[in-house]
Amino acid sequence: MPNLLLTTWHTLTCWSSRLLDLLYPRDCTFCHQPAGEDGYICQDCLERLSLHRNPSCIRCGAESALPEGHDFTCSECLQQPPAFERVFIVARYDNAFRDLIQTFKYRKGIWLTKDLVRYLVATYQLRIAEAGIAIDLLVPVPMQVSKLRARGYNQAALLAEALAREIHLPCNTRALKRVRTGKLSQTRLHRSERLANAKAAYRAARTKGLEGKTILLIDDVVTTGATSNACATLLRQAGAKAVYVLALARPFHP
């Protein structure tokens, strides 16, 4: 869609959502009290969402079992450095934050996009932009076409597009393609098997313009890092200079 059309569409949807807010005030997703005008989670519930994580691996984002201490590089990343530079995670995948992401992902909760993107914007600003990492382009982790048809949306692409608008960066939702279904990244598999599985599930697609770019790969949940690693490998092979990863959450496996 040309830019002007997109802007017009965006303005129209903004106005129609404002009108809807007047007619039907928003309820908080958690406590069902009025949520205010700017999202679907009220201030009290926002504050109750625990964003705490233990110190983590500076490459893959895996959390340490110990709540105290400094960030570190885990033994897996030391032995076999991943294709991405770093994974940035907003919060641990548990409790209310997991409920929120599951509603967003499995219960067609696309109305939560704006609330969730706020966390991505904050993490991007505090940990990526502030650290002097200059991102050129956003790329979401793709979804298999059949699954996309069934669900109606790719949650990672929704997040990437909304984040791109907020931080004024371009977004290429077609750079990568998911070519195989099935559950990936089973934690019980050996790391090399997980990576081989993940690599077989993705292909590079429309990679024009990736050369020399620093890319921010967007996902909703990073489980073992195998998907991020497979996607980063493809982006690097397509000429990307560096790949960083930003995701909402990662489960904690003590």
Which one of 53-61, 139-147, 156-164, 189-197 is the stretch in contact with Zn ion (CB under 5 A)?
Answer: 53-61
Min dist. Cβ of residue 225 to Zn ion (A): 7
Query: Which residue, 77 or 198, is less far from Zn ion as judged by CB?
Result: 77
Identified binder of Zn ion from the candidate list 26, 40, 56, 59, rule CB under 5 A: 59
Phi then psi dihedrals of residue 80, to 5 deg? -140, 90
Q: Cβ distance 154 to 219 under 8 Å?
A: no
The binding track of 118-137 with respect to Zn ion, each residue x by CB under 5 A or -, is --------------------
Which one of 11-19, 28-36, 95-103, 183-191 is the stretch in contact with Zn ion (CB under 5 A)?
Answer: 28-36
Region label for 212, one of left (φ > 0), alpha (ψ between -120 and 50) or beta (otherwise): left
187: burial class by Cβ within 10 Å (0-12, 13-18, 19+)?
A: exposed
Identified binder of Zn ion from the candidate list 40, 42, 84, 159, rule CB under 5 A: 42
Going by their DSSP bridges, the two strands 202-204 and 214-221 should be labelled as: unpaired
Identified binder of Zn ion from the candidate list 36, 49, 72, 74, rule CB under 5 A: 74
Min dist. Cβ of residue 34 to Zn ion (A): 9
Min dist. Cβ of residue 27 to Zn ion (A): 8
Binding of residue 28 to Zn ion (CB under 5 A): yes
Cα–Cα distances in Å, from 217 out to 26, 144, 198, 222? 31, 17, 15, 11
Which one of 69-77, 146-154, 175-183, 191-199 is the stretch in contact with Zn ion (CB under 5 A)?
Answer: 69-77
Min dist. Cβ of residue 29 to Zn ion (A): 7
Which one of 2-10, 55-63, 87-95, 156-164 is the stretch in contact with Zn ion (CB under 5 A)?
Answer: 55-63
Closest CA to 173 of 201, 213, 215: 215
Cα–Cα distances in Å, from 103 out to 58, 98, 112, 157, 187? 29, 8, 8, 16, 23
Residue ranges in 124-225 assigned as alpha helix (H): 145-151, 155-167, 191-201
H or E element at residue 138: strand 137-140
Query: Which residue, 113 or 229, is less far from Zn ion as judged by CB?
Result: 229
Min dist. Cβ of residue 117 to Zn ion (A): 18
Binding of residue 77 to Zn ion (CB under 5 A): yes
Min dist. Cβ of residue 155 to Zn ion (A): 22
Single-letter code of the amino acid located at 133: I
Single-letter code of the amino acid located at 100: L
Q: Interface residues with Zn ion (CB under 5 A)?
A: 28, 30-31, 42, 45, 57, 59-60, 74, 77
